[in-house]
Amino acid sequence: MNLTIISGIEVSKKIKEEIAAQVKLNIAKGMKTPHLAAVLVGDDGASKTYVNAKVKACEAVGFKSTLVKLDENTTEEKLLEEIKKLNNDTDLDGFIVQLPLPKHINEQKVTQAISPLKDVDGFHPESLGKMLLDLPSFLPATPMGIIEMLKHYNIPTEGKHCVVIGRSHIVGSPMSVLMARNSYPGNCTVTLTHSRTKNLQEITLQADILIVAIGKPEFVTANMVKDGATVIDVGIHRIEDATKKNGFRLIGDVKFDEVAPKCAFISPVPGGVGPMTIASLLKNTLLASIHK
């Protein structure tokens, strides 16, 4: 089996270069500099890393960025007030509220408070509804990044069986919708599996394309994967590793070393879906700034 390791780093670099060129062109034409804000509530290490990476990516493509840091004990009311301010800030094109939020804050309420015009993470009910109806909208950043990956590598999808593991609102569920759409990448027969699915292995063994967003380290093993499959690993887990400078290394939801030899295509962790999520966020922000 000829194996291709999908490089989210390479694909996202290409997308970011295209965005940077477009920004330069737009500014030369007198258009505004795209501006993205990220709201971070609390002190979670992983969330801080993700938000910092997003802010850094903005700088790299010539966007303006703002980081709004709020204390772990911030009330839901205070956060909703902050969102209102961001909704009304005329210079700001889009913003995200980094999830997960502290337990005392209702994520649904927060997601719904974000103006659909600035919803560059694509989590608002209006964005998700439009996606379902094939109307132009901000697609959720991670599924959108996976779609871009499949496109970049010309991975055939039409008539294929795509199995998605996990039904979260931000990854699994929208992913299943996008893979079933009447377009490329899409036109798959999709099976969405979740915590109540019976005989998961029987189902994953039928997958031509297996998209894993279960949030359990190295859950998918070689005996769950068909020969020649495409495997996309969405999971990110920090595992303590004393040999690393920062004390940890990243692994995914897929046991990469044993699964990869069976695959036609596989996305690694790190360097797979993660950078694509950021590239999609930038793409959505550029769109938001143009269609203001």
Do 185 and 207 meet the contact criterion of CB atoms below 8 Å apart?
no
Q: Does 168 bind ligand NAD (CB under 6 A)?
A: yes
Q: Does 174 bind ligand NAD (CB under 6 A)?
A: no
Which range touches ligand NAD (CB under 6 A), out of 32-40, 86-94, 193-201, 239-247? 193-201
CB of 173 to ligand NAD, least distance (A): 8
Residue 1 CB coordination number (10 Å): 10
Pairing of strands 237-240, 248-251: antiparallel
Please name which of 154, 264, 276 lies closest in space to residue 207, comparing C-alpha atoms.
264
Residue owning tokens 């930038």: 282
Q: Which of 93, 119, 121, 253 is catalytic?
A: 121
Q: Is 85 a catalytic residue?
A: no
| Nearer of residues 83 and 175 to ligand NAD, judged by Cβ | 175
Question: Which tokens go with 128?
Answer: 């998700």
Burial class of residue 140 in the structure, from the number of CB atoms within 10 Å of its CB (0-12 exposed, 13-18 middle, 19+ buried)? buried
Q: Does 142 bind ligand NAD (CB under 6 A)?
A: yes
**Which residue in 16, 35, 54, 167 binds ligand NAD (CB under 6 A)?**
167
Q: Does 6 bind ligand NAD (CB under 6 A)?
A: no
Residue owning tokens 């996976």: 146
Q: Does 8 bind ligand NAD (CB under 6 A)?
A: no
Cα–Cα distance between 83 and 85 in angstroms, integer?
5
Cα–Cα distance between 190 and 160 in angstroms, integer?
8
Q: Does 235 bind ligand NAD (CB under 6 A)?
A: yes
| Nearer of residues 11 and 165 to ligand NAD, judged by Cβ | 165
Q: Is 54 a catalytic residue?
A: yes
Kindly give, in sequence order, each residue whose CB lies less than 8 Å from that of residue 241, ignoring residues fewer than 6 positions away.
247, 248, 249
Coil, helix or strand at residue 44:
coil
Please name which of 267, 256, 253 lies closest in space to residue 147, comparing C-alpha atoms.
267
**Which residue in 92, 110, 214, 263 binds ligand NAD (CB under 6 A)?**
214
| Nearer of residues 86 and 281 to ligand NAD, judged by Cβ | 281
Which range touches ligand NAD (CB under 6 A), out of 109-117, 122-130, 132-140, 207-215? 207-215
**Which residue in 274, 281, 285, 289 binds ligand NAD (CB under 6 A)?**
274
Residue owning tokens 């496109």: 151
Please name which of 186, 95, 75 lies closest in space to residue 138, comparing C-alpha atoms.
95
Binders of ligand NAD in range 42-71 (CB under 6 A):
none
Largest CA distance in the chain: 58
Size of the site for ligand NAD (CB under 6 A): 23
CB of 84 to ligand NAD, least distance (A): 26
- DSSP at 250: E
Which range touches ligand NAD (CB under 6 A), out of 112-120, 124-132, 162-170, 180-188? 162-170
Question: Which tokens go with 185?
Answer: 């990448």
CB of 60 to ligand NAD, least distance (A): 17
Residues in touch with ligand NAD (CB under 6 A): 142, 165-168, 170-172, 193-195, 197, 200, 213-215, 234-237, 273-274, 277
Name the residues annotated as catalytic: 54, 98, 121
